């Protein structure tokens, strides 16, 4: 064999439309052999922006903002303006002598979801019903 085979790398997708996909392709041709290939990938940030745009077009601005706030950079930008992202709980300033926020939650499932340390049985404080305590006296 004296010639290289004619090959063309595949064209997969372009990012000029609302596909939110990217692609890469390659081709190689040497004497007696040729090969091509390619792959596609989804841009999750683009999908989030498109979904947010559609929710906003339907009049659901809070849902659109909540989607955009899933990005740490977007969340930081929203909070820098003095606003908060929907669904995000902001702690109120504590008053002097108030119990720390970590001790506020006694439910083990809630503590686990918040990433707080579990409360041991001997240090758990159960609320005492005032009427029950007066009946026992």
pLDDT at 1: 56
The pLDDT tens digits of the residues spanning 22-73 come to 788 888 888 888 888 888 888 888 889 999 999 999 999 999 999 999 888 8
What percent of the chain stands above pLDDT 90? Answer: 15
What percent of the chain stands above pLDDT 70? Answer: 69
Mean pLDDT across the chain: 75
Q: How far is CA 137 from CA 47, 65, 87, 127, 128, in A?
A: 65, 56, 46, 18, 14
Residues 69/75, Cβ–Cβ less than 8 Å: yes
Q: Averaged over 10-15, what is the pLDDT? A: 67
């Amino acid at each position: 064999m004296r010639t290289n085979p004619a090959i063309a790398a595949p064209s997969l997708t372009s990012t000029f439309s609302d596909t939110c996909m990217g692609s890469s392709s390659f081709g190689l041709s040497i004497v007696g052999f040729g090969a091509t290939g390619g792959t596609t990938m989804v841009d999750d940030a683009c999908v989030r922006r498109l979904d947010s745009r559609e929710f906003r077009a339907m009049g659901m601005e809070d849902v659109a903002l909540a989607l955009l706030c899933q990005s740490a950079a977007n969340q930081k930008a929203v909070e820098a303006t003095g606003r908060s992202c929907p669904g995000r709980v902001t702690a109120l300033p504590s008053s002097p002598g108030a119990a720390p926020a970590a001790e506020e939650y006694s439910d083990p499932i809630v503590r686990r979801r918040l990433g707080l340390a579990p409360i041991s049985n001997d240090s758990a404080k159960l609320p005492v019903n005032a009427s029950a305590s007066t009946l026992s006296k």
